[in-house]
Structure 1
Amino acid sequence: MRRNGRVSGVARAARLLVAALCSLLLLTSCSGPLAGDAGEYTIAGGGTHGIYYAYASEISTQLREGGLDITVTSTAGSLDNLRRVADGRALLGFAQADAAADAVAGTGAFSKPEPIRAVARVYDEYVHVLVPESSSITGLGDLRGKRVSIGDENSGVRVVATRALAAAGLSEGDFTPVSLGLDDSVTAMQNGEIDAIFWVGGIPTPGIERLAVTTPLRLLPIPADVVETMNSEHNGVYRMSDVPEGSYGTHSSIQTMTIPNYLIVSAGAPDALVSEVVATIFAARPAMSKRVPVAALLDRRQAIFTAPVPLHPGAEDYYTSHRL
C-alpha cells in the first residue's frame, strides 16, 4: 500500500496481526482472553468527546485498512478500559498511569492484581479543573459546597479528582460529587447544573473545545503541594506542568499536573501480535496526527517508560529491534 509516494507498513502489520489472532483462536477455541465475537475485536476508548476515543478510532482505522476487523468501543474511561482488557472484552485500551499502576498491584479500585501490560507510553495527559469564566471559584478550596463533576465511577478521572480534592483538604462531605463522564459533564455545565468539571486528557480535548465556544471557561490551578501529597501516597506518577496560554480561550498559562497515558494489552497476548501493534502505531503516526494531534507525541525513546506497569514482551521485542 502506497500513500503520497511512501510505502505504508500498516497493511503488513495488520496481516501479521490477523495471522497471530487466528493462531490464538485455534488455541482458545474462540473463548477466553482476546477471543473476539465472530472475529471482531475492539479497542477500549473513552467517552466519544475525548481524546481516547479519537485516538482509538485512528488506530482501528489503520488496522482495518490492512484487513483486521477491529472497532472502537465507547467506555467510562481508564478503570473500565483496564477491566475490559484484563478480562478479554477488548484487545487494546488506553489507561492513565495511576489507574494502571493500581491494576497491576491489585490496589485501589482493583481487588486483585490484573494481567495488564503496556504497549507504549503514548502521551501525557493534563488534569483540567474547569469552571465557567463568570464563576467566583478561583482555587480547589473554593469547591467546598459546590457541585463538582468527578467523572464516571469507572473512570481514571474519578481516581485523580478524589485524590486531588483530598490532597487539597476536601472530603466528599465538603462538596457535592456528581458522577458524569465528559459528554454528560459538557451538557450539565451548559445547562448550569454543575459548578466545576474535573477532566484528564490531552490538549486540546475536543469536547472541552466545543464547550468553550458556548460557555467561556477558566481552569483552576493545581498547587505544587497538592501534587507532592498525591505523589507521596500514589506511586509518584504525577508531574507538575502548565496548560499553555490560549488553550480553550484562556488568557494565561495555568499550573496543573500531568499523568502519563499508556496503550495497554493483556499479559497473555501473543508476542508477535503485540510487536506488530507497536509497529503499526509508529508507521501510522504521521497520518493519525493529522486528525488527532497528540498522536504526534508518540516517541520511541519515551514510549518505553511505562513503570510501574511492565512492557509486554512483544513490545520489548519491537523497541529492541528499533533502537536509535
Structure 2
Amino acid sequence: MTTESSYGVERRDVLKGVGAAGLAGLAGCMGGSSGEQISWHAGGQSGTYYPLSNEFKTIVDGNTDHSLTVQSTGASVENVGSLGSGDADFALIQNDVAYFARNGTSLETFEGNPVESLRGVATLYPETIHIVVRPDAGIESLSDMEGKSINTGDLGSGTQVNALQILETVGITTDDFDQQNADFGTAADQLRDGDVEAAFVVGGWPVGAVADLAETADVELLNLDSDTRDDLKDAASWFADDTIPAGTYSDIDQEVNTVSVQAMIATRADYSADVVEAVTAAIFDNLGELTIKTDFISVDTAQDGMSIELHEGAARYFE
C-alpha cells in the first residue's frame, strides 16, 4: 500500500514526465504523444458524485498525461450499464449496486445477467440515506410512509434501489404508495412545492440539493430508531449505521440517525491496467488537492467495503 510519501511523489513525477514513447508503452492502447482520453461517468449535478468527479478530473489532468471527461448521469445503475457496454472507462457507483451487478442478483436489471466485466478501483466515503419529509406529512417512522407520495430517486438509480429496499423492510411495496422518480434537484422542488410528501436522497452529507432546500423551505429528516436500523442491516448487509450531525442542514438542530452505503470508483476489466494504475495513483497521491469528502477519502480506507474484485491496475497500486 502506498502513501503520500517520497515514493508517491516519485511515482507522480514519473507519470507526468513520461514522453511520447514511454507513454505509448505505459498505456498500451494510445497512439501518438497525447495521453488517453478517459470517459468518467458521475451522477446528477445536484448530488456529490458530479462535483467530486470534477475534482478528480482536475487532479488527473494536472498530474498525468491523460485527460478526463466527466459526464452527468443517473448514477449507479446507469453507470454500471455504461461500464458494461464500454461507453464509460470509470464511474462512481454504490458498493451494493456493484455487488448486485457483478453477481447478477437482487435487481431486475441484473437478475441472471451479471456484468462480469465490472471491476473495483477504490471505495471513497459513506453514501448517507437522507429521508427528507414535509413537517405536515405526518411521517414519524418508515411505516407512516404508506399511502404517501414519495420521490424514490431517478428511475433505476442506486437511490431508488435503496429506497425500495428500505420501504420493503417495513412491508411497504410499490403498490402501497405513489412513487415519483426524479433527480435530487427535482425532488427538492417537489417537496418545496408540496407535490410529494417525502423524498429519498442518497449522498455524502451535506448534499447540495438538501442544503438548498433546507434554506428555503421547512423540511425535516426522518430519524431511524435503533431497532429499525438493525432490521435494515439484517435485511441488507451492505447497510451500515450512519449519523447526520446536528447543524449539517439549516434548522435541523439535532443529529439524525440513519444508514448508509459506500461510494466507490469502478472500471471495466478490459480497460488498460496501466491507465487504471496511473489514474489511481494520481488521485490517491494527491488527496490534498480535494475539497470534497476530505474527512473520509484516504489510502488506508480505500478498500473498506469493496464488494467486487479489484482491477489489475488498482491492485498494483494498493497491494
For Structure 1 versus Structure 2, the TM-score category normalised by the shorter chain is 0.7 to 0.9
Pairing 1:56–2:53 present: yes
Please name the residue that 1:23 is paired with: 28
CA distance 1:226–1:311, change in 2 (3 Å)? farther
CA distance 1:10–1:216, change in 2 (3 Å)? farther
Q: CA deviation at 1:11?
A: 7.0
Please name the residue that 1:242 is paired with: 243
In the TM superposition, what whole-angstrom CA distance separates every residue of 1:164-197 from its partner, at most 9, and x where no partner exists?
0010221112211101111211222222211111
Q: CA deviation at 1:263?
A: 0.7
Q: CA deviation at 1:160?
A: 0.3
Please name the residue that 1:272 is paired with: 274
Q: Distance in 2 between matches of 1:136 and 1:260?
A: 30
Q: Which of 60, 77, 83 matches 2:75?
A: 77
Q: Distance in 1 between matches of 2:210 and 2:79?
A: 21
Q: Distance in 1 between matches of 2:170 and 2:184?
A: 23
Gaps of 5+ in 1: 1-6, 27-37
Specify the SS of the correspondent of 2:313.
helix
Please name the residue that 1:194 is paired with: 196
How many residues are aligned here?
299
Q: CA deviation at 1:68?
A: 2.5
Q: CA deviation at 1:223?
A: 3.6
Please name the residue that 1:319 is paired with: 318
Please name the residue that 2:102 is paired with: 104
Question: Is this contact kept in 2: 1:131–1:197, CA < 8 A?
Answer: yes
Q: Give the superposed CA RMSD.
A: 2.4
Q: CA deviation at 1:25?
A: 5.1
CA distance 1:13–1:219, change in 2 (3 Å)? farther
Q: Distance in 1 between matches of 2:148 and 2:16?
A: 49
Question: Is this contact kept in 2: 1:217–1:248, CA < 8 A?
Answer: no
Q: CA deviation at 1:304?
A: 1.7
In the TM superposition, what whole-angstrom CA distance separates every residue of 1:69-90 from its partner, at most 9, and x where no partner exists?
3211111111011111222111
Pairing 1:127–2:120 present: no
Please name the residue that 1:222 is paired with: 224
Amino acid at match of 1:237: W
Specify the SS of the correspondent of 2:98.
helix
1:176-215 residue pairs with structure 2 within 5 A? 176-215=178-217
CA distance 1:70–1:228, change in 2 (3 Å)? same
Q: CA deviation at 1:49?
A: 0.8
Question: Is this contact kept in 2: 1:274–1:314, CA < 8 A?
Answer: yes
Please name the residue that 2:85 is paired with: 87
Question: Is this contact kept in 2: 1:129–1:198, CA < 8 A?
Answer: yes
CA distance 1:173–1:272, change in 2 (3 Å)? same
Question: Is this contact kept in 2: 1:14–1:280, CA < 8 A?
Answer: no
Question: Is this contact kept in 2: 1:147–1:194, CA < 8 A?
Answer: yes
Q: Distance in 2 between matches of 1:212 and 1:18?
A: 49
TM-score (norm: length of structure 2): 0.86
Question: Is this contact kept in 2: 1:55–1:295, CA < 8 A?
Answer: no
Q: Distance in 1 between matches of 2:60 and 2:215?
A: 34
Q: Which of 35, 38, 41 matches 1:41?
A: 38
Please name the residue that 2:298 is paired with: 299
Specify the SS of the correspondent of 2:40.
strand
CA distance 1:89–1:254, change in 2 (3 Å)? same
Please name the residue that 2:3 is paired with: none
Question: Is this contact kept in 2: 1:120–1:306, CA < 8 A?
Answer: no
Specify the SS of the correspondent of 2:249.
helix
Question: Is this contact kept in 2: 1:121–1:261, CA < 8 A?
Answer: yes
Specify the SS of the correspondent of 1:300.
coil
CA distance 1:25–1:287, change in 2 (3 Å)? closer
1:5-24 residue pairs with structure 2 within 5 A? 13=15, 19=24, 23-24=28-29
Q: Distance in 2 between matches of 1:238 and 1:135?
A: 26
Q: Distance in 1 between matches of 2:99 and 2:71?
A: 23
Amino acid at match of 2:315: E
Q: CA deviation at 1:303?
A: 0.7
Q: Distance in 1 between matches of 2:151 and 2:23?
A: 41
> Sequence identity of aligned pairs in percent?
26
